[in-house]
Amino acid sequence: MAQLNINSRVANTDAEADTPLLWVLRDHLGLTGTKYGCGVAQCGACTVHVDGAALRSCVVPVSAIPATAKVVTIEGLGDTRLKVVQQAWAELDVSQCGYCQPGMIMAAAALLAQNSKPSEDEIRDGITNICRCGTYPRVLAAVQLAARRLADRSAA
Per CB under 8 A, 12 contacts another protein:
yes
User: Which of 28, 69, 70, 149 lies at the binding interface for another protein (CB under 8 A)?
Assistant: 28
Task: Please say which residue, 97 or 151, places its beta carbon nearer to another protein.
Answer: 97
Q: DSSP letters of 101-124?
A: HHHHHHHHHHHHHH-SS--HHHHH
Beta bridge partners of 48: 55
User: Which of 2, 34, 57, 145 lies at the binding interface for another protein (CB under 8 A)?
Assistant: 34
Footprint (CB under 8 A) of another protein, residues 99-118: 99-102, 105
Per CB under 8 A, 147 contacts another protein:
no
Spatial separation of the C-alpha atoms in residues 61 and 22, rounded to whole Å: 9
Footprint (CB under 8 A) of another protein, residues 39-68: 39-40, 42-43, 45
Strands 70-72, 2-6: parallel, antiparallel or unpaired by DSSP? parallel
Spatial separation of the C-alpha atoms in residues 45 and 61, rounded to whole Å: 17
> How far is CA 41 from its chain centroid?
13
Binding stretches for another protein (CB under 8 A): 1, 6-7, 9-12, 14-16, 19-20, 23, 26-40, 42-43, 45, 73-75, 77, 86, 89-90, 93, 95-102, 105, 123-125, 127-140
